[in-house]
């Protein structure tokens, strides 16, 4: 007789056994109908629901040499919660579709669930995982849907910025991208393949930047605060400030003029670096910004360039995206 494996693979377990363990980790649901039926029933508060979905795929979006299961659960939650907050809404629930190889360990699934739960608690109190799906795949894939409530308010769209508005930001710029650069610089082999992240080897700014990349803490409660304060437009900065400000400018039919002085020591990184998931918003001139937002520019009448810095055009392209080059090696 052999002892049962203390950390069995998911391929050796039934779906029901894996699900029970996940639900234990997540804790009890306070939804009208939580996990376990055909669908969840959630209280949304008024007659509208805000809904968004975003997927993390092993390879293009993360590497297991660098991200722990907890990091992945946290980040999968954070990037979706950010999209809800960027509408001015309060996140209410997550649905998590998890596709994973048979050889995945149960402890990995538990770590993911830990990260999902803790990110909700830290970034969007009151939000919880209320449903999901488990399936087998050769490629580890985490597809999260986030739902939110406007609590009677109007959604804040990308299209509402008006000339004269103040452009403001809550959260970091270029921090997560700097962390990714540290990972590529210090934790790859001669062929460019990822090697295990040694967190102890990192100190100071490098450690903080890597943490921002792997486990972002965007100030999401400021999304509803901005909506209540009267933000005219808002979006989350996921693909870099230059590109996302271009999207906001194009949707609003305006030009966004950023101040060089607001872009920090490394303006190229601040403009091009993605994945910080801070909130970019426009507010009517003359009003006090909600605490946590800082002014970074002005909305102007539409000119040739969608985005300028101190009046000079910048190109709104993606700064740097090494993941797209990642092919099929495992890491």
Site residues (vs a second copy, CB under 8 A): 32-33, 36-55, 57, 59-61, 82-84, 86-87, 89, 93, 95-97, 99, 130-133, 135-139, 141, 143, 145-148, 150, 155, 157-159, 235-236, 251, 324, 328
User: Between 64 and 251, whose beta carbon lies closer to a second copy?
Assistant: 251
Q: Is 259 annotated as a binding residue?
A: no
Nearer Cβ to a second copy, position 40 or 106? 40
83 is in an annotated binding site: yes
Is residue 297 within 8 A of residue 256, CB to CB? The reply is yes
Question: Quick one: 100 or 182, whose CB is closer to a second copy?
Answer: 100
Nearer of residues 115 and 132 to a second copy, judged by Cβ: 132
Angle of helix 106-123 versus helix 15-26 axis, rounded to 10: 30
Nearest to 17 by CA among 110, 95, 114: 110
Phi–psi pair at 174, nearest 5 degrees: 80, 0
Structure tokens, 61: 């979006």
- 52 marked as binding residue: yes
At residue 302, what are phi and psi to the nearest 5 degrees? -60, 130
Which among 166, 173, 203, 170 has a CA at the least distance from the CA of 186?
203
Bridge partners of 82, per DSSP, are: none
Distance, C-alpha 77 to centroid of its chain: 7
Minimum CB distance to a second copy smaller for 135 or for 264? 135
203-222 b/e with 16+ CB inside 10 Å = b? eeebebbbbbbbbbbbbbbb
* CA-based nearest residue to 114, from 171, 146, 72: 72
**Which residues belong to the annotated binding site?**
38, 52-54, 61, 83, 132-133, 158, 236, 238-239, 275, 320
């Amino acid at each position: 007789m052999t002892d049962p494996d203390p950390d069995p693979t998911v391929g050796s377990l039934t779906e029901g056994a894996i699900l029970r363990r996940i639900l234990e980790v997540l804790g009890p649901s306070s939804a009208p109908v939580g996990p376990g039926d055909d669908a969840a029933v959630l209280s949304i508060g008024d007659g509208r629901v805000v809904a968004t979905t975003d997927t993390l795929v092993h390879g293009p979006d993360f590497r297991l040499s660098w991200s722990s299961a907890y990091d992945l659960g946290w980040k999968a939650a954070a990037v979706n919660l950010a999209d809800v907050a960027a509408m001015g809404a309060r996140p209410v629930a997550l649905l998590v579709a998890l596709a994973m190889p048979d050889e995945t360990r149960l402890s990995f699934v538990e770590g993911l669930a830990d990260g999902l739960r803790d990110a909700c608690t830290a970034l969007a109190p009151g939000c919880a995982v209320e449903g999901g799906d488990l399936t087998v795949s050769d490629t580890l894939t985490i597809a999260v849907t986030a739902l939110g409530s406007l609590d009677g308010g109007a959604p804040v769209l990308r299209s509402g910025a008006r000339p004269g508005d103040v452009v403001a930001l809550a959260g970091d710029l270029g921090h997560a991208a700097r962390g990714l650069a540290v990972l590529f610089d210090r934790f790859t082999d001669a062929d460019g393949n990822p090697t295990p992240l040694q967190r102890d080897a990192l100190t100071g700014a490098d450690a903080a930047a890597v943490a921002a990349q792997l486990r972002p803490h965007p100030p999401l409660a400021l999304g509803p605060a901005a909506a209540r304060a009267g933000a005219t437009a808002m979006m989350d900065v996921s693909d870099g400030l230059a590109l996302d400000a271009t999207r906001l400018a194009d949707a609003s039919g305006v030009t966004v003029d950023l101040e060089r002085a607001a872009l920090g020591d490394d303006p190229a990184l601040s403009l091009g670096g993605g994945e910080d998931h801070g909130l970019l918003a426009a507010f009517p001139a003359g009003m006090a910004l909600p605490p946590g937002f800082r002014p970074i520019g002005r909305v102007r009448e539409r000119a040739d360039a969608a985005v300028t810095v101190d009046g000079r055009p910048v190109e709104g392209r993606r700064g740097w995206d090494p993941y797209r080059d990642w092919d099929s090696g495992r890491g």
